[in-house]
Amino acid sequence: MFFKNMKLLVVFMFFVLGTVNAVAQDEAGVSAKQVVDKFQTDLISIMKDGKKLGYSGRYEKLAEPVTNSHDLTKIARIVVGKEGEKLSEEQQQKLVDVFSRLSIASYAHNFKDYSGESFVFDSEEETTRGGVVVHSHLVIPDDKPVKFDYMLKEKGNSWRIINIIANGVSDLALKRSEYTSILEREGFDALINKINEKIESYSKQ
């Protein structure tokens, strides 16, 4: 009798602990590394079907993984820098829309087929300002590996990529220089037109 009760108790305890654990994990959300892992896995699997899917197929399949792992609103805000303050609410929204489409389009264009590539996780570190950097590299058969460092920031109870540094070249810094320069020299409409032209040319190749 005692043992039976004990057994029940243990089962009950496990059950309770299990739920608590599950709840706790839910509260902690997804870690930065998990976000990067999932995105890289999605990317590789889309690359594998790349040829079959074609550009539009890849675009459609990538839309969700990209928007779920990247903080595109924040990136769009950062890349226009101080110039962003001069933009109206409507313009800012337009920029975020166009920029999001560009981000997905460039993935769809650049990761179009598969020839044995794989991502390897190296390390993870916290930065002084509460961000996390996930260091990884892409192994390419018969070629030098490419270092991919992802900079993530916390958003809600999850993490989002805000910058990718490929072989030491920061995508965010590059875009920021380009976008602020175009805004200063040619204005907002020119920037939007240029981004749209890029999306157009990505879709054609």
Partner 1 sequence: MSMKTINNEKGIMKLSLFYFGLFFCIFIVNSAVAEDTESQQVVTNKSDPYESFNRKMFRFNDSFDDYLAEPVANGYKWITPKFMQTGVSNFFNNLENINVVINDVLQAKFSQSAEDTGRFAINSTLGLLGLVDVAKDLGLEQNQEDFDQTFAVWGVPQGSYLVLPIFGPSTARGIPAAVFDAAANPATYAGVHLKWLSIMGSAQPIAAVAMIDKRANADGALKFIDEAALDPYVFTRESFLQWRNNLATDGKSEASLDLEDLGDQSLDGNKRSGSAQSLQNDSGKKSGFTLRLEADSKSFSKASQSFDSAAQSFVTSTKAYEEAGKKLDTFNASKKKRRKIKD
Q: Which residues bind partner 1 (CB under 8 A)?
A: 74, 78, 81-82, 84, 106, 109-113, 115, 117, 127, 129, 131, 133, 138, 140, 143-144, 146-147, 149, 151, 153, 162-163, 165-170, 172-174, 176-182, 184-185, 191, 194-195, 198, 201-202, 205
Tokens of 192: 């939007």
Report strand pairing: 169-170 vs 146-155: unpaired
The distance of closest approach from Cβ of residue 96 to partner 1 in the complex, given in angstroms and rounded to an integer, is: 16
Phi-psi region of 77 (alpha: psi -120 to 50; beta: other; left: phi over 0): alpha
The nearer residue to partner 1, 26 or 184, going by C-beta atoms, is 184
Q: Between residues 2 and 148, which has the closer beta carbon with respect to partner 1?
A: 148
CB of 133 to partner 1, least distance (A): 6
Local structure of 50: helix, strand or coil: helix
For the packed helices 72-79 and 89-110, what is the interaxial angle rounded to 10 degrees?
A: 110
Give Cα 35 to chain centroid, integer Å: 8
Complex with partner 1: residue 11 or 169, whichever CB lies closer:
169
Classify 138 as helix, strand or coil.
Answer: strand
For residues 4 and 144, which CB has a smaller minimum distance to partner 1 in the complex?
144
Minimal distance in Å, beta carbon 193 to partner 1? 10
Which one, of 12, 17, 66, 59, lies nearest residue 40 by Cα?
A: 66
The rounded distance, in Å, linking the Cα atoms of 12 and 6 is: 10
| Closest distance of CB 75 from partner 1, Å | 10
Judged by CB, which is closer to partner 1: 38, or 112?
112
- Least separation in angstroms between CB 202 and partner 1: 8
Least separation in angstroms between residue 4's CB and partner 1 is 57
If the CB atoms of residues 5 and 115 are measured against partner 1, the closer one turns out to be 115
CA distances from 79 to 1, 24, 170, 195 (A): 69, 36, 12, 13
